[in-house]
């Protein structure tokens, strides 16, 4: 499979989203962690076969949302459905079966340092399936070919650049033909060339394999090139959503601050604190 140029406007290349065709549905999600309200009744849909980006300020709960969707963390209230299954009520065996439909690309790639590239990609096959070695070899080499790294099959993780490691991790994420891929900050630490390679792979794999993709990222310029839909989350709420071009043109305090990189705005520069004078030890009436 050869990478293709990114489409500058995915809306023109893909069929419109059909109502009710969401692969992931989140309704009334409420989460409190360590006394802090993370989500306050949010609703969102991840369209089947599309790339949906989740964006927002640091600490707003983007990775927490991924943990809810994959069943790693139970919410305090609300419902999460993945491919029709209510994740919050699944039994352990059902949850494991659902996770087998999901590929996960970790922020740090999470390659096994004692295994070469081939064995890193083969790991899920060896752990979950009893396949003949020849079939394992063919599947792994096919996935490595898809990310342009078949020739690196016997390299060790320490011999890979950051971009190559991210592509190996992507090959591992798709090795079992998932229905859903979750990308947690896939652009962090990549140089412009590696970034473009990863962007092309995300778009190409999504379109050619019909995968549903959830992309958590901060880099709006990159997201704008690849995503079909963006949800901007802040203060426990979805504060904006839509196609990235539409959000970029929207004149709201949230989009202006986040996409424009303003230091202050709806998301304050200062973390909530007591009165400054009190912390410094000043008392009323003292000079």
Instruction: Identify whether 124 is part of a domain.
Output: no
pLDDT digits (tens, 9 = 90+) for 237-286: 898 888 988 887 777 666 666 666 555 555 555 566 677 677 777 655 55
Contact 235, 57 (CB under 8 A): no
Question: 284: Cβ–Cβ under 8 A, 6 or more apart, which residues?
Answer: none
Position 239 scores a pLDDT of 86
Which of the residue ranges 92-101, 116-125, 194-203 has the most confident prediction, judged by mean pLDDT? 116-125
What does the pLDDT read at residue 250? 72
Strands 212-216 and 51-55: parallel
In a domain, 213, yes or no: yes
pLDDT tens sequence across 263-273? 555 555 556 66
- Closest among 134, 160, 135, 164 to 148, alpha carbons compared: 164
Report yes or no on 77 lying in a domain: yes
Tokens (6 digits) for 181: 């891929």
Q: Which tokens is 153 given?
A: 């099959």
Q: What's the predicted TM-score (pTM) here?
A: 0.78
**Do the domain assignments include residue 108?**
no
CATH code, 228:
3.40.50.300
Domain count, the chain: 1
Task: Determine whether 20 is exposed, middle or buried from the number of CB atoms within 10 Å of its CB (0-12, 13-18, 19+).
Answer: exposed
In a domain, 186, yes or no: yes
Contact between 212 and 46 (Cβ < 8 Å)? yes
Asked, for residue 111, whether it belongs to a domain, the answer is no
Structure tokens given for 161 = 């650049």
Over residues 222-230, mean pLDDT: 90
In a domain, 264, yes or no: yes
Over the stretch 106-140, which tens digit does the pLDDT of each residue have?
877 889 999 999 999 999 999 888 899 999 999 99
pLDDT tens-digit series, residues 27-76: 999 999 988 899 999 999 999 999 999 988 877 888 899 999 999 999 99
Looking at the domain assignment, is residue 157 inside a domain? Answer: no
Question: Ramachandran region of residue 4, left (φ > 0), alpha (ψ -120 to 50) or beta?
Answer: beta
Domain that holds residue 195: 10-101+178-279
What's the confidence (pLDDT) of residue 56?
84
- Residue 86 CA to residue 84 CA, distance in Å, equals 7
167 touches 147 (CB < 8 A): yes
Please report, for the chain, how many H helices and E strands are present, in that order.
10, 10
């Amino acid at each position: 499979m050869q990478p293709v140029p990114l489409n500058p406007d995915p809306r023109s290349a893909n069929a419109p989203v059909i109502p009710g065709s969401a692969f992931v549905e989140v309704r009334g999600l409420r989460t409190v962690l360590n006394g802090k309200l993370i989500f306050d009744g949010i609703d969102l849909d991840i369209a089947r076969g599309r790339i949906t980006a989740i964006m927002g300020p640091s600490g707003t709960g983007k990775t927490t949302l991924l943990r809810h969707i994959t069943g790693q963390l139970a919410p305090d209230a609300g419902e999460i459905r993945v491919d029709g299954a209510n994740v919050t009520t699944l039994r352990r065996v059902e949850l494991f079966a659902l996770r087998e439909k999901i590929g996960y690309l970790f922020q740090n790639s999470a390659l096994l340092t004692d295994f070469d590239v081939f064995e890193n990609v083969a790991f899920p096959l060896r752990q979950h399936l009893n396949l003949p070695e020849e079939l394992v070899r063919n599947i792994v080499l096919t996935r490595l070919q898809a990310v342009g790294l078949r020739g690196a099959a016997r390299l060790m993780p320490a011999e890979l650049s950051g971009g190559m490691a991210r592509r190996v991790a992507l090959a591992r994420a798709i090795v079992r033909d998932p229905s859903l891929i979750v990308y947690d900050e896939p652009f962090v630490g990549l140089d412009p060339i590696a970034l473009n390679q990863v962007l092309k792979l995300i778009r190409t794999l999504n379109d050619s394999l019909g995968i549903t993709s959830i992309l958590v990222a901060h880099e709006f310029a990159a997201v704008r090139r690849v995503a079909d839909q963006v949800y901007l989350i802040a203060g426990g709420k979805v504060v904006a959503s839509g196609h990235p071009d539409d959000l970029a043109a929207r004149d709201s305090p949230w989009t202006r601050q986040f996409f424009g990189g303003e230091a202050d705005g709806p998301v304050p520069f200062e973390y909530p604190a007591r009165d400054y004078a009190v912390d410094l030890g000043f008392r009323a009436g003292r000079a």
